[in-house]
Amino acid sequence: MNFYVSVRNKFLISLFFAMCWFVASAWLSYFWFLDLSKVIGVPLAIFFIFFLALLPGFINAFIACALLLDRRPQVFLPKNFPDVDVLIPVYNDGKEVIDTIKSVMAQDYPGILHVIVINDGSNVQTRTILNNLSVCYPQIHLINLPRNTGKAYALNEGLKIAKSDVIISIDADCWVKRDAIKLIVSRYLCDPPNTKAIAGSILVRNSRENWLTKAQEWDYFLGIAAIKRIQSLFQGTLVAQGAFSLYDRSTLIKLGGWPITVGEDIVLTWRFLSAGYRIGHAENACVFTNAPNSLKQFIRQRQRWSRGLIEAFKEEPTLLLKPRLSILFIWWNFLFPFIDIAYTLGFIPGLILALFGKFWLVGPMTLALIPPGLLLNQVMFRSEKQIFDNSNLGIRKNFFGLFFYMIAYGILLQPACVWGYFSELFKLKKVWGTK
């Protein structure tokens, strides 16, 4: 017989376990603090130890415990499915959009799909492809904008002509699994009544291209998916990503549609949360996206995501004070920039110093974080593997990508995030595009 543990109790158990981990880590790091403070002073020693070791350890312990306690409620397919408007904004996506639209048109969705493609001032090649597709699929409503205006503006143009109660946004470089729309709508219909948006599951399609896409495959499969899963468990998914998410149309319109920001998806999600609505997560509704395959594209993407986080805090700062379980994740996001700064300015230089025998920042105490990290990744892997097994998907053998993701991925990721934070704080030029 299964013993039921309420969501609130799961939260309290995870929080208690994480706090015990934090206290034990603080006690063990005392002598590290004494040595480091002699070199860089007490304030900097506290900053680096807290944001390099103690806080990440707390977060990892909470995630691991929550995943072990998580039991996703079964989703029952409804008898009647609502009509759905699918919005696909396109900007210079070339031939990639062909697979996207074909995969949408091949859905086994029991209801009616209205597909609205918004050409946001694309080049001649993409415009020609879209015109040809609209001839092949007469049910597509193609909007040709005269000039590039940005993703949020393009989505809002599609929203103006949408008629269905349910809106789904899909990026133009995504391949949508045949049952993805059915599953995300089912999750929406089965979740609590105050759920007004659902984030789908994003996986990497081009993971075989090079070392960078191999590593990103694990980032999406383990890190991003696990975070969304526990956020959903505790009633507060923080990003219904534009690549594949569902929205209640009337609520979306009431909140002003997509905000004209560089991180329109996270700002919109936080508007939903600030208004008191719940955001769910359909972990088995999968789309496969083309991840950045060059360092320049990858850095631009993570800069944009980081700028979006700062934009969200600038627009919805009161979320930090709203009493709900998900407030913990809001505070994590508030502290993430400091973790990234500590890693960029502390851990990376510390690695170089360690090569010369100076273990002030990177030494035995930081190496002690490796076993818990391995344990967390094992828990996340088991959690996601179960979803893959239930969805008849296989996990590709990608040991090099996993090794790089666990050992060195942060050396690229976190400096890019830091640059994104400062780009937003200093109001540098914003552009649409992650690639």
Segment 161-185 shows an average pLDDT of: 95
What is the band of 287 on the pLDDT scale with cuts at 50, 70, 90?
A: very high
Token output for 296: 């320049």
Give residue-wise pLDDT tens across range 370-411.
677 777 778 778 777 777 777 777 777 788 888 888 888 888
Segment 275-295 shows an average pLDDT of: 92
Please give the CATH topology (third level) of the domain spanning 84-321: Spore Coat Polysaccharide Biosynthesis Protein SpsA; Chain A (3.90.550)
Return the domain boundaries, the chain. 7-72+335-395, 84-321
Give residue-wise pLDDT tens across range 10-60.
999 999 999 999 999 899 888 888 888 998 999 999 999 999 889 988 998
Asked whether the predicted pLDDT for residue 334 surpasses 70, the reply is yes
